A = this chain, B = another copy of it.
Amino acid sequence: MSDDQALGITESKEYNTGEWYAEVVQKAGLANYGPDGMSGFIITRPRGYALWEGIQNYLDGQFKATDVQNAYFPLFIPESYLEREKDIVEGFDPEVAWVTHGGNQELEERLAVRPTSESIIAPYMAQWVRSHRDLPLRVNQWCSVVRWEATDTKPFFRTKEFLWQEGHTAHETEEEAYEETMTRLGQYRSLYEDVLAMPVMRGKKPEHDKFPGADTTTTVEALMPDGKSVQAGTSHYLGTSFAAAFDLTYSDEDEEELPAHTTSWGLSWRSLGALIMTHSDDQGLVVPPTIAPEQVVIVPIYQEDTEEKVLDYAEDLREELAEAGVRVELDDRDERNPGFKFNEWELKGVPVRFEIGPHEVDDDEVTVVHRPDGEQAVESRSDVVDAVEDHFDEVYAKLYARAEENLTENVRDAEDRASILGTIGQHGGYVRAPWCGKEECETEIKETISAEIVMVPFEDDEERHHPDVADGCTCAICDDEATETAFFAKSY
């Protein structure tokens, strides 16, 4: 165990969220900062990467079960290809890393390290699609992308290089493409709600904040404990504009040449940042058993005369759990005392601890401790392997309930400009307000308090709407008619 891991968390989640987060990431062994000359880059350590693999495995399984195929496109994109996106995206000015030399030769055309890949994926999809029989076409890529933004580094939230997946699909009709958009958004929601124990809200980005060139940008938003919203995954219905720009057309049954309807959707390791931020506490990392690299740690407690029987009992239990498919670690290090071990595994985020001392051995029992709240239970040795899944479910439910409570408590209504500003200023979280749909009304709020409209609920998501909107009220900022419900929040 290296020194940095042995020391506990010193910052407070409540009072010093940013510093606390950075400390958890480092001391739980999730990531290190990049070397000199590489600010903005991080090293993802095995414990951090294992969490990302958990996210990947779940989503990749969902994607494959719904007819998505993985592919791999080049790391570099010629400048002229990126330029082509200017036809679609006004004012496109890519903040990218530029490769100008290969070996000792200057390149004729400089190459961008991909900031996103549609400008190279779309032309190939265009080659692959000839007829309506080639549709739908669904391609996904797991890769790293680079965006040269000069901001402070926050591991997994803000880094110049980040890991993500980007999915790109082409369809015959708008309905199909829109359904695809919603399918992927639903899979992102399922990742958060069914695997990461985080309730999220689904909605659309306002017209003026859509992905450039998109017809509709949908988002899942997660509320962080500091009251800011994280855009936790986005799915875009792109209409036919990208297809037209990249000649992604197909011939229909009557041999007519038509542009395809396309979608794209992406989720990055920001999901990992949101996971860490949501559940962890002043003792360190907290993650649900669904994704924890170790679900159970067994800590034996013994004196010299009880060592053998305790360790035998513990090892026997470890084997049985491992055979049952539980990710289990027996911490039988001799040089560390149980208290040290408790702290260390709490720091590292193992959700369930089994304590085994001479009493447990004598009584054929196991003491079970839940990571998030220290709740203890005693299980009989013969039942404990069966019971462990129930404990996982309980821990999951506790984490989910806590995050849900945070979300529910922090959606507040406002009907005028002053109360939008006052409520966000005082509480953070989301403020729900009737809105006319004009960007100027958002700008007013943004300039005063740097909160923005992070989402607008879907039309059919009635419980998310501000209750007055249906009754024909006016916009909370101007006097125009309110046509939508805006969720204002500060965001990451």
Known: A45-B71, A73-B43, A80-B37. A2 touches B99 (CB 8 A): no
Q: Are the CB atoms of B95 and A98 closer together than 8 Å?
A: no
**Known contacts A49-B70, A70-B50, A74-B43: does B97 contact A99 (CB below 8 Å)?**
yes
Q: How far is the CA of A380 from the CA of B377 in the complex (A)?
A: 56
Interface residue A111 (Cβ < 8 Å from any Cβ of B)? yes
* Contact of A103 with B148 at beta-carbon distance under 8 Å, contacts A35-B123, A78-B35, A139-B46 already known: yes
- A37/B74 in contact, CB under 8 A: no
Could you say which residues of chain B place their CB within 8 Å of the CB of A75? 75, 113, 144, 146, 161
A2 to B133 Cα, complex, angstroms: 9
Residue of B nearest to A133 (CB): B1
Kindly state whether residue A124 has any CB partner on chain B within 8 Å: yes
With the chains together, A333 CA to B133 CA distance in Å? 10
The 10 A-B residue pairs whose C-beta atoms are closest, nearest first, are A46-B69, A102-B148, A44-B72, A98-B101, A41-B74, A37-B78, A95-B103, A103-B148, A2-B130, A100-B100
Majority DSSP secondary structure for residues of A touching B: mixed
Chain B residue numbers with a CB within 8 Å of A143 are 144
Question: Which single residue of chain B is at the shortest CB-CB distance from A36?
Answer: B78
Q: Does A458 contact B (CB under 8 A)?
A: no
CB contacts (< 8 Å) of A133 on chain B: these are 1, 333, 335
**In the complex, what's the smallest C-beta–C-beta distance from A94 to chain B, in angstroms?**
8
Residues of chain B lying within 8 A (CB to CB) of residue A80: 37
**13 A-B pairs, CB-CB below 8 angstroms?**
A2-B130, A2-B134, A37-B108, A41-B76, A43-B72, A44-B72, A44-B73, A53-B70, A72-B144, A75-B75, A76-B97, A76-B161, A100-B101
Number of A interface residues, CB 8 Å? Answer: 65
Instruction: Say if the beta carbon of A38 comes within 8 Å of chain B.
Output: yes
A38 touches B70 (CB 8 A): no
Residues of B within 8 A of A129 (CB): 2
CA separation between A146 and B108, bound complex, in Å?
18
Q: Does A425 contact B (CB under 8 A)?
A: no
A55-96 CB mask vs B (1 if < 8 Å, else 0) is 000000000000001111111101011000000000000011
Inside 8 A of A369's CB, which chain B residues have their CB? none
Minimum C-beta distance from A190 to chain B (A): 22
| Interface flag for A32 (CB, 8 Å) | yes
Contact yes or no, B74 A46, CB < 8 A: no
A376 CB–B CB distance under 8 Å: no
Shortest Cβ distance from residue A54 to the other chain B in the assembled complex, whole angstroms: 12
Contact partner of A98 among B100, B109, B134, B139, CB < 8 A?
B100
Residues of B with C-beta under 8 A to A163: 72
